Amino acid sequence: MMSARSVKILIVIFCFSLQSWAQNTLQDLNFLVGTWKMEGKNTYEHWSKDDNAFVGESFNVMDDVKYVSETLRIEQVADSVVYTATVMNQNEGKAIAFTLNTDVVDKLSFENTSHDFPKKIRYTKVTDTELFVEVLGANDEGFSFIMQKQ
């Protein structure tokens, strides 16, 4: 039987492991940094990294003018990695948070099942220069597209 001290030590080790894993997961997102263009459209996502987060924006270019449609952020919040999107002229300017589902393998699946649409935003790294993006609602219905790194 384990002593109370042994249990406490195991809990501390477990919590430290979770924190380290979450930080490593955030580090693993470095591949997003840069500008990505949606295949066949003048729609882009640009991601940069600051000290504690990835900061992005989605925008269109028409007649050499950039029109930002949403701002994005991925950061560590407590023991979770959270993707936050603020869509211009929607939701009264309030950000919507999606939490990384760590049970999904081989892709980043940011989820908020209480949101109307989307409920999931998924990024799959196909190659260093290609992403497969899924925007999904109820019953995993929605749309998807390929983005090429510029």
Cβ burial of 41 (10 Å; 0-12, 13-18, 19+) is exposed
Judged on CB neighbours under 10 Å (0-12, 13-18, 19+), 74 is buried
Q: What's the whole-model pTM score?
A: 0.82
- Count of domains in the chain? 1
Q: Are 45 and 36 in contact, with CB atoms under 8 Å apart?
A: yes
pLDDT at residue 27, rounded to an integer: 79
Return the closest-CA partner of residue 97 out of 111, 78, 117, 79: 111
Under DSSP, is residue 56 helix (H, G, I), strand (E, B) or coil? strand
Q: What is each CA distance from 19 to 22, 79, 94, 129, in whole angstroms?
A: 5, 6, 28, 29
- pLDDT digits 0-9 by tens, 95-132: 999 999 999 999 999 999 999 999 999 999 999 999 99
Backbone angles phi, psi at 146, to 5 degrees: -105, 140
CATH number at residue 18: 2.40.128
Place of tokens 């979450």: 22
Question: What domain range is 69 assigned to?
Answer: 4-149
Does the pLDDT at position 4 exceed 60?
no
Confidence of residue 9 (pLDDT cuts 50, 70, 90): very low
